Chain A
Amino acid sequence: MGMTIAEKILARHAGKDVVRPGELITARIDMVLGNDITSPLAISEFKKIGVDRVFDKDRIALVPDHFTPNKDIKSAEQSKLLREFAREHQITYYFEVGRMGIEHALLPEEGLALPGEIIIGADSHTCTYGALGALSTGVGSTDMAAAMALGEAWFKVPSTLKFIFNGKLQPWVSGKDLILYLIGKIGVDGALYRSMEFWGEIISSLSMDSRLAMCNMAIEAGAKCGIIEPDEITLDYVTARAKRSFEPVYADKDAEYEKVYTFNGDEIEPQVAFPHLPENTRGISEVGEVRLDQVVIGSCTNGRMEDLRIAAEILRGKKVHRDVRLLIIPGTQNIVRQAMREGLLDIFIAAEAVVSTPTCGPCLGGHMGILANGERALATTNRNFVGRMGHPGSEVYLSNPAIAAASAIAGKICAPGEVA
């Protein structure tokens, strides 16, 4: 009996020929990631272990992205801890403000997340790199500390769910919609403790940015990871930028899946998740009248070039509705620059949107666009929990960048066709 992608990657990193779901193993880690919220705790736990050095200064990435550029004195102190630790241990991939980006937009771009690798990060959206054929998963600060000391972590081998998307992608539908649709079908714990694998003709034709958006939200179904088997699109993306050698891992033909789901992509329209869970999804045609105070385009889910290009296509020559604030947050400095070269920033500012430096900012109610009581936002982010973007009495709806851009113009949630 063969193995799934997650099983094969775990087996290889545990020095075993075979692993099976449920088995507890210790595996070698290719990359350890932390940000300005989770790393300070990890650093204090690391110090308790009593080792002098980190296991490998080239295999740790520290990215101050959540409350940066620092929003207050306390968060400045947190970032300072990160910076000092990076200097002390000569961490190669510490990304200072000005060179940083939102961590899960940044690491793939920098070639620091590669096919066949195991990457753990003290951030739940570390699962993003499954789009590159890696087993990447979110952990807590203590796991990060232990991995910085030892270069390994413990895992329970997950069973795997296979999701096949047949048919053709419909207009304005992206990876974001596929994952929202899927979460709407299986629920926010529908893949709890599992590895998800995404297959089918739609996935094969999906751009890398769309794949990254899709795998980014595997955690929103409770999964350990969401993986797409490496193909030509993957190798084209990683080959030019890889900072290390890597070896892609492919699923065995006779791999055993706990369950196989098949979806017809012809029937999937752009999705909107209603408050207060990502599983509360509706097709755009069934949304009804939802007026908005704020729209956010950005985050580790949808702050990449493809997202900005789509938003610009819709916003070109238009104005944001007078009652709406539109915030656009490119994911990395490179993306800001590319958007500038392509004239996208000019389109956004002409449309009377705000363009921000890369930050997680409003996605988690940190800064740069917090909601007041009773306010309603549509965001291309990943979570719409109570109080996620500010006051517990505010509301967050989730969508792709096309719906978000159109809705910012209309002042209510709508499809791009309604503002064309």
Chain B
Amino acid sequence: MQGHVWKFGNDIDTDAIIPARYLNTSDPAELAKHLMEDADESFPSKVKAGDIIVALKNFGCGSSREHAPIAIKAGGVACVIAHSFARIFYRNAINIGLPILESPEAAEKIEQGHEVRVDLASGTIENLSTGEVYQAAPFPPFMQTIMDKGGLIGYVKWRLESEKS
């Protein structure tokens, strides 16, 4: 995948990603209308399908709301790259099949407006604006399997099926 970068700083919390005042629904399209609103009010109107979010440390800290990765996915964001992710956000992204990559170097060096190409299978991130290449750590096989099954529900169904047969 290849996309335009929106860059964010440290400790982007789930209230910034999707404020709680909109959590009286879990409709992905409704949630996407308010994506990152409290960090950048015009973000929902600017973000385009296939764009990539790059952030520094502890992205997604705070609440357990799965509405956060759902809003990001429904907003058309193809992938999130960060120095590090808060642990519940990390789990949720894997469980719902939102691609995420941890790479301190990429998070540091990629800037707002850069164009990057990401190969999820290998974890390679290519910065087309600067020519640099960064490497994210690959997922452990277990997590990769969850993602290959489209998320945790797909994985659980697959496991229940294979236990039956």
Contacts and interface: CB of A to CB of B under 8 A. Distances in A.
A235 interface: no
16 contacts: A24-B143, A37-B65, A38-B65, A40-B26, A41-B26, A121-B64, A124-B88, A138-B64, A140-B91, A188-B11, A188-B61, A222-B86, A277-B11, A385-B16, A386-B16, A392-B19
Given A50-B157, A138-B88, A142-B152, A222 B61 contact: yes
A71 B91 CA distance: 30
Contacts of A255: none
Interface residues of B, number: 41
Q: Please classify how large the interface on chain A is, using the bins under 10, 10 to 19, 20 to 34, 35 or more.
A: 35 or more
A165 interface: no
Interface stretch (A88-96, A146-154, A267-275, A337-345): A146-154
Interface of A: 24, 37-38, 40-41, 44-45, 48-51, 66-67, 71-72, 74-75, 78, 121-124, 126, 138-143, 145-146, 149-150, 154, 188-189, 192-193, 219, 222, 224, 277, 364-366, 383, 385-388, 392
Contact of A146 (B64, B66, B143, B153): B153
A277 B92 CA distance: 22
Contact of A189 (B11, B142, B153, B160): B11
Interface string B59-93: 00111111101100000000000001011100110
B63 A124 contact: yes
Residue from B61, B65, B152, B157 whose CB has the most chain A CB atoms within 10 Å:
B61
A38 B18 CA distance: 14
Interface string B13-53: 10110011101111000000000001100000000000000
Per CB-CB distance, the 7 closest pairs between chain A and chain B, nearest first, are A140-B92, A74-B24, A140-B66, A189-B58, A142-B95, A364-B20, A124-B64
A122 B26 contact: no
B19 A365 contact: yes
B128 interface: no
Contacts of B65: 37-38, 140
A154 B19 CA distance: 28
B148 to A, nearest CB: 15
B19 A387 contact: yes
Contact of A143 (B15, B21, B23, B91): B91
Nearest to B39: A386
A45 B67 CA distance: 13
Contacts of B24: 67, 71-72, 74-75, 78
Contact of B66 (A38, A149, A224, A385): A38
A140 B67 CA distance: 9
B58 A145 contact: no
Contact of B95 (A40, A50, A72, A140): A140
A142 B95 CA distance: 6
Contacts of A44: 26
A224 B64 CA distance: 12
Given A189-B86, A192-B84, A193-B87, A139 B64 contact: yes
A243 to B, nearest CB: 24
B26 to A, nearest CB: 5
Given A74-B24, A189-B84, A24 B11 contact: no
